């Protein structure tokens, strides 16, 4: 009796996921976390209008969702000032990234990213056999100029660049991103991940024309809109590229409740402003807690703060482990020298009070 005959590429890959979820960690430790501050979710929740729309749509869940996400795409097109043909909706940015890599990357094709940037993108590139080229951060920032230079050297088909960045929370001016496109090699596409742009200073978003064939911009309802569990992301790009996704995407991947909730959330500007204000207050509080403990918070344009623990990655990992043992779920960058930090998501006052109590104890344990 034989089993399935895997491809040689699949046989060469490890069976893993880019992140260990907090639920798995809770099962391992035998207790829930007192403060869930590691996944950059919005602890402030979704718009009440979005929740009402989801509940109302639940009675229609016997139907498949609209495979074109027409109403949501139309609203997003209006929101972004583009045509409907320039907008794609998918299963979060993760799903969009997987389909983008599938569209562009064949085994051996060069792809460029920053060393230590979003690992799910790397996971997709590996899964399709791409040759991943990595460029180091510079001053805790992704270096777009260096990414473009490496792409030219290796004839890359795709560059991944996040603005604002995860895991450091830093950002570049949108005007600088736009200017850098003049140096992009012919035939290379820039994937501009703007998952956190709603939290960033004015001028961070790059005003790239929707019909510019050199760029695809990706955004999400997981962060500022508080709907991470609904898995809704969207992309803006030239119409030909958007249409090409129809060749390979999961056409019924978007459930109708998620579509309805996202549409309601998009129209609730007051709730978005409320969340933005809460995140700004939480960033300040995390920075205050870090400072009280002799640590430095890196200024953030996102809904999390990278806190420099002041030593090396081993010390930061010890701090993280001690926090987890005290019921505080946080994460950290994976690559030197950014791994000297821990990454703390913005939370409510009660969540940050748990952090404030646990952090000095965790530092003492790590130093001991």
Whether 147 and 195 share a structural domain: yes
Its pTM stands at 0.96
In-domain check, residue 8: no
| Same domain (yes/no): 21, 108 | no
Beta-carbon count within 10 A of 237 CB: 29
Q: Are residues 226 and 279 in the same domain?
A: no
Question: Containing domain of residue 261, as a range?
Answer: 48-267
277 and 213 within one domain: no
Let me know if residue 11 belongs to a domain.
no
Assess whether 344 and 300 both reside in one domain. Answer: yes
Give 184-241 pLDDT, tens digit per residue.
999 999 999 999 999 999 999 999 999 999 999 999 999 999 999 999 999 999 999 9
Instruction: Say how many domains are in the chain.
Output: 2
Q: What CATH number has the domain bearing residue 285?
A: 3.90.1150.10
Task: Give how far Cα 37 sits from Cα of 70, 84, 187, 248, Å.
Answer: 34, 36, 40, 35
Boundary-marking domain end, from 249, 267, 285: 267
Q: Do 217 and 101 share a structural domain?
A: yes
Separation between Cα atoms, residue 120 and residue 236, nearest integer Å: 20
Q: Which residues of 321-340 are buried (b: 16+ CB within 10 A; e: fewer)?
A: ebbbebbbbbbbbebeebbb
Q: Same domain, yes or no, for 156 and 87?
A: yes
Helix 48-58 / helix 256-266 crossing angle, nearest 10 deg: 150
Q: Output the pLDDT for position 125.
A: 97
Spatial distance between the Cα atoms of 237 and 331, rounded to a whole number of angstroms: 32
Query: In sequence order, what are the beta bridge partners of 271?
Result: none
Give residue 290's pLDDT.
98
Does 341 lie in the same domain as 286?
yes
| Residue 181 DSSP class | G
Report yes or no on 12 lying in a domain.
Answer: no
212 and 294 co-located in one domain: no
Q: Is residue 3 part of a domain?
A: no
Of the three residues 267, 291, 312, the one that is the final residue of a domain is 267
For residue 264, the model assigns a pLDDT of 98
Low-confidence ranges of the chain (pLDDT < 50): none
Last residue of a domain, one of 267, 299, 326: 267
Residues 230 and 108 placed together within one structural domain of the fold: yes
Residue with tokens 């700004």: 280
């Amino acid at each position: 009796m034989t089993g399935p005959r895997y491809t040689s590429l699949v046989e060469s890959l490890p069976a893993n996921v880019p992140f260990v979820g907090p639920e798995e960690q809770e099962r391992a430790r035998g207790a829930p976390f007192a403060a869930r501050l590691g996944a950059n979710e919005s602890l402030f929740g979704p718009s009440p209008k979005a929740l009402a729309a989801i509940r109302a749509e639940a009675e229609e869940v016997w139907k498949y969702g609209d495979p074109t996400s027409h109403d949501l795409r139309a609203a997003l097109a209006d929101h972004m000032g583009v045509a409907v043909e320039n907008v794609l909706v998918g299963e979060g940015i993760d799903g969009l990234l997987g389909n983008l890599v599938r569209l562009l990357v064949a085994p051996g094709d060069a792809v460029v990213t920053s060393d230590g940037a979003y690992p799910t993108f790397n996971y997709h590139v590996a899964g399709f056999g791409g040759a991943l080229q990595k460029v180091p951060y510079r001053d805790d920032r992704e270096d777009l100029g260096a990414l473009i230079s490496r792409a030219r050297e290796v004839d890359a088909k795709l560059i991944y660049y996040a603005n604002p960045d995860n895991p450091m929370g830093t950002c570049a001016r949108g005007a600088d991103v736009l200017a850098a496109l003049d140096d992009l090699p012919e035939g290379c596409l820039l994937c501009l991940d703007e998952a956190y742009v709603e939290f960033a200073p004015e001028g961070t978003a790059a005003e790239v024309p929707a019909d510019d064939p050199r760029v695809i911009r990706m955004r999400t309802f997981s962060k500022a809109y508080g709907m991470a569990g609904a898995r809704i992301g969207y992309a803006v790009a030239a119409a030909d590229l958007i249409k090409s996704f129809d060749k390979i995407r999961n056409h019924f991947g978007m459930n109708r409740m998620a579509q309805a909730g996202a549409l309601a959330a998009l129209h609730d500007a007051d709730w978005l402003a409320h969340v933005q204000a809460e995140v700004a207050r939480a960033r300040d509080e995390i920075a205050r807690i870090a400072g009280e403990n002799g640590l430095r918070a890196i200024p953030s344009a996102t809904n999390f703060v990278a806190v420099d623990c002041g030593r090396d990655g081993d010390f930061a990992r010890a701090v993280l482990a001690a926090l987890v043992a005290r019921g505080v779920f946080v994460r950290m960058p994976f690559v030197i020298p950014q791994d000297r930090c821990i990454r703390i998501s913005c939370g409510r006052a009660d969540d940050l009070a748990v952090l404030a109590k646990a952090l000095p104890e965790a530092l003492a344990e790590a130093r001991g």
